């Protein structure tokens, strides 16, 4: 029954040290679905304005994304503008124009309320809760949020956290939510708030999955030509959730596969502005990069215990 994502479809304007784009396709639900739809039927619930170019929706449709839940309403589409420092070490938000997004009241099409997996992208926790109340018992729910809600709508966020399976955060958000600066401790505290799974996104340093008291750290793909990191986190979540949706059982093995898939998907996202590079990446491109990542995280049969004996006997 596929995967439902509720989030934003937006126009982004992005400046980097090398280039600049204006009003290109962006938004959490856009990046997420462009990745997830490679692995599982994906339904997007979002809102766009009168000014939204129909051709942009075709890009999602061509990927097989179901866009019937994207509502077009009077007004302008959500716009975001940001500027990255050289080498993407910091990002400044230049403007955020919520426009039609400020009155977003997600309505899940009735035929999509049975989706097996749900991803609640970064929106007001009250809306995230409202979406869950419209669904017919999905088997796996994941949520993304940000510092603004963690500090400003903490109680509502804590309420929705009790009803989800997995939470996606970056280090800073995990520290803010747990009020603690060690990631392992933070993960323990956050898992005690409800989600049994915490995924910490660390940008170029990769990601960490916390579950059942274990931590699975995954390095990112090392890239020489980064164009624009915007959307990488949502793309990671899309690869992660899409892979889970393709699995008969969500167990440790499926979660490991989801981490790899999210990592690989995000590596394509950052190689272009908007969804440009992600759109060009098909399943075989992802599979190829997975092989590369696999080599780079290769585990080994090593007999550490007898290493010194060998060294001494060789001496």
Determine the interface stretch with a second copy among 18-26, 69-77, 98-106, 256-264 (rule: CB under 8 A): 256-264
Q: Which of 40, 232, 241, 275 binds a second copy (CB under 8 A)?
A: 40
Q: Which of 195, 242, 262, 272 binds a second copy (CB under 8 A)?
A: 242
- Please, what is the minimum distance in Å from the beta carbon of residue 218 to a second copy? 7
* 202 sits near a second copy (criterion: CB under 8 A): yes
Q: Which of 90, 93, 133, 312 binds a second copy (CB under 8 A)?
A: 312
* 214 sits near a second copy (criterion: CB under 8 A): yes
* Residue among 137 and 248 whose Cβ is closer to a second copy: 248
- Please, what is the minimum distance in Å from the beta carbon of residue 148 to a second copy? 22
Q: DSSP for 124-174, please give it.
A: -HHHHHHHHHHSS--SEEEEE--HHHHHHSHHHHHHHHTT-SEEEEEHHHH
| Phi, psi values for residue 46, rounded to 5° | -160, 180
Secondary structure element (H or E) that encloses residue 185, with its range: helix 183-192
| Cα separation, 265 vs 263, whole angstroms | 6
Question: Any idea which residue has 């007898």 for tokens?
Answer: 306
**Tokens linked to 195:** 């989600």
How many residues in the shown chain lie near a second copy by CB under 8 A?
67
* 99 sits near a second copy (criterion: CB under 8 A): no
Is 36 in contact with 239 (CB distance < 8 Å)? Answer: yes
- Please, what is the minimum distance in Å from the beta carbon of residue 153 to a second copy? 26
| Cα separation, 98 vs 107, whole angstroms | 18
* Cα 274 to Cα 11, 31, 223, 227, 247, distances in angstroms: 9, 8, 17, 10, 29
- Please, what is the minimum distance in Å from the beta carbon of residue 117 to a second copy? 10
Q: Which of 45, 57, 132, 218 binds a second copy (CB under 8 A)?
A: 218
Determine the interface stretch with a second copy among 49-57, 74-82, 155-163, 286-294 (rule: CB under 8 A): 286-294
CB count, 10 Å around CB of 253? 10
Q: Which of 159, 246, 250, 279 binds a second copy (CB under 8 A)?
A: 246
Q: DSSP for 270-311, please give it.
A: TTSSTTHHHHH--HHHHHHHHHHHHHHT------GGGHHHHH
- Please, what is the minimum distance in Å from the beta carbon of residue 10 to a second copy? 26
* 296 sits near a second copy (criterion: CB under 8 A): yes
* 150 sits near a second copy (criterion: CB under 8 A): no
* 137 sits near a second copy (criterion: CB under 8 A): no
- Please, what is the minimum distance in Å from the beta carbon of residue 50 to a second copy? 33
* 20 sits near a second copy (criterion: CB under 8 A): no
| Cα separation, 288 vs 267, whole angstroms | 12
Is 78 in contact with 11 (CB distance < 8 Å)? Answer: yes
Residue 202 burial by Cβ neighbours in a 10 Å radius (0-12, 13-18, 19+): middle
Kindly list the residues in this chain that would bind a second copy in the complex (CB under 8 A): 1-2, 37-41, 86-87, 89, 181-185, 188, 202, 204-206, 208, 214-220, 222-224, 226, 242-243, 245-248, 253, 256-257, 260-261, 264, 283-284, 286-287, 290, 293-300, 302, 304-305, 307-308, 310-312, 314-315
């Amino acid at each position: 029954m596929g995967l439902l994502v509720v989030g934003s479809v937006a126009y982004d304007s992005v400046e980097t040290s090398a280039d600049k784009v204006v009003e290109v396709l962006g938004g959490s639900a856009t990046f997420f679905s462009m990745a997830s739809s490679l692995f599982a039927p994906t339904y997007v619930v979002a809102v766009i304005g009168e000014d939204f170019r129909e051709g942009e929706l075709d890009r999602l449709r061509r990927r097989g994304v179901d866009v019937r839940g994207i509502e077009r309403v009077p007004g302008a589409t959500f716009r975001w503008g940001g500027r990255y420092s050289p080498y993407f070490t910091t990002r400044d938000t230049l403007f955020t124009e919520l426009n039609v997004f400020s009155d977003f009241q997600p309505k899940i099409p009735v035929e999509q309320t049975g989706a097996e997996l749900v991803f609640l992208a970064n929106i007001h926790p009250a809306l995230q809760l409202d979406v869950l109340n419209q669904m017919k018992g999905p088997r796996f729910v994941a949520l993304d949020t940000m510092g603004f809600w963690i500090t400003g709508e903490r109680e509502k966020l804590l309420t929705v956290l009790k009803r989800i399976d997995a939470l996606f955060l970056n280090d800073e958000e995990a520290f803010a939510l747990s009020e603690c600066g060690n990631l392992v401790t933070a993960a323990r505290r956050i898992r005690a708030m409800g989600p049994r799974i915490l995924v910490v996104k660390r940008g170029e340093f990769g990601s960490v999955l916390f579950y059942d008291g274990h931590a699975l750290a995954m390095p990112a793909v090392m890239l020489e030509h980064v164009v624009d990191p915007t959307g990488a986190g949502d793309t990671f979540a899309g690869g992660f959730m899409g892979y889970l949706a393709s699995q008969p059982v969500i167990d440790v093995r499926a979660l490991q596969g989801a981490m790899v898939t999210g990592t690989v998907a995000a590596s394509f996202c950052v190689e272009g502005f908007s969804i440009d590079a992600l759109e060009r990446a098909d399943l075989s491109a992802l599979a190829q990069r997975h092989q590369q990542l696999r080599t780079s995280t290769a585990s080994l049969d090593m007999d550490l215990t007898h290493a010194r004996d060998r060294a001494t006997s060789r001496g």
